[in-house]
Amino acid sequence: MNQPAPPILHEDFDRAQDHLKIVAARGTRQRGWNSRLLWLLIGPGILAFLGENDAPSMLSYAATGAQFGIGFFLPFVILTFAIGFVVQEMAGRIGAATGQGHAALIFARFGKFWGGFAMLDLAAGNFLTLVAEFIGIRAGLGFFGVPPALAVGGSIVLIALAVSTSRYWTWERITMVLALGNAVFVPVALLAKPDWHQVGSALVTWSPLHGGFKPDTITLMVADIGATVTPWMLFFQQGAVADKGLTASEIGGARLDTIIGAVLAAGFAIASIIATAPLFSHGISAANFQAAQFAEALMPYIGHTGAALFAIGIFEAGLVAAITISTSSAYAYGEVTGSAHGMNSSIRDGWPFYLVLLGSVCTAGGLILIPGAPLEDIIILVNVVATLAMPPALLFLITLANDREVMGEHRNGLWWNIAGVTVTIFMILSGLLYALTVLMPHLFG
């Protein structure tokens, strides 16, 4: 007996309307590009990468510049974003080819046990990261004397306003404007007056690591990897591609969107390293600095304006990431429960989706207002946990990308599989190296 077709919701009409705009912009040039078409296609990839340039990530890059200056870590960070592109390209391609989110496909192809495992991994990582974002928001606005309760409460109101439109297109453009605020680290880097010959040499020659591979250095390397590649990005980008209504014919556009996001985020991350390099040059210990402390320490070298821009950048990074990370949680919840799970959903149809999104934000924001909460430990833990959680997520991703029934002609080719397996091995080895530094630190001097 045939199953009845699922009801057509208001969000389906909105999604179809957005896709018709893409079809109209493409016109008869099936393989051609124009500025309007590019404008309509970009979004999920850029938001995934700029969302991952979050508060703990930018603080991790800032700590890298302060502890090691301009050298080894500049090309290392570029390498991590190349890894991120490999991973996110597959997520975007799966979303466009299937029209389904990551959580829905994991449950469909691997069953409830492995689906539950993936959701537990996502939920724990997302909540920890959300807490870290509000730590960044609080610390960034703290530079300007904003009380913690006002900083957290005001940010939650902004997030609620961004998602209240019940329209994916509007939400995406609002969030993208906020995300491009990550560029504020570029003028901060310029105010630091770096030696551009040294910057160029570091990028081209890959300078040796200052001080060698010590436990603290390896921890920072693992944190920088986790600042670029995390499980929530897979759920977010694949869910957003499906929510945007992209189809298999837009896979090229989704890939270009991902490239743009990776390039922008890498540039802003390097700018953060360059901005804090003066602290290394002047021998200032900044290993445990938070946002306001970095801004205050940089003030003698980049002025009050530069310090204020740095603090604003940390606030912006935390705010955008809080939006995208909570959205990835809501996408996953809606996909698993079969309820409405898109930004085109009305409040009435998609109230569970919005409840998960805003509920996770409010809970994480409220936690950092508890007196005596271990905020510094959470910041350090978040990026390291992200690195350790990636290998299982990558195995799910690569298996889905090779599934002929799911992907058809758009499944992984030989070179994408080589790249994906290489990335997975790299992430596993990074996790093992970190474990060795914890269990046997004497091996590293």
Residue type, 303: G
pLDDT value at 385 more than 80: no
Q: What is the pTM of this model?
A: 0.91
Higher per-residue pLDDT: 369 or 316: 316
Per-residue pLDDT of 83-129, as tens digits, reads: 999 999 999 999 999 999 999 999 989 988 888 888 888 888 888 88
- Domains identified in the chain and CATH numbers: 43-444 (1.20.1740.10)
Q: What is the distance of C-alpha 161 from the center of its chain?
A: 21
CA angle 329, 331, 335 (to 5 degrees): 120
- pLDDT value of position 217: 80
Q: Does the pLDDT at position 149 exceed 60?
A: yes
8 A C-beta contact, residue 316 and residue 181 = yes
Question: Is residue 383 scored above 80 in pLDDT?
Answer: no
pLDDT for the residue numbered 289: 60
> Does pLDDT of 303 surpass 50?
yes
Which pLDDT belongs to residue 434? 79
Tokens 């560029």 sit at which residue?
A: 183
pLDDT at 49: 96
HEC-encoded secondary structure of 44-80: HHHHHHHHHCCHHHHHHHHHHHHHHCCCCHHHHHHHH
* Tokens linked to 242: 């499906």
- Residue-level pLDDT at 60: 84
pLDDT at position 32, please?
63
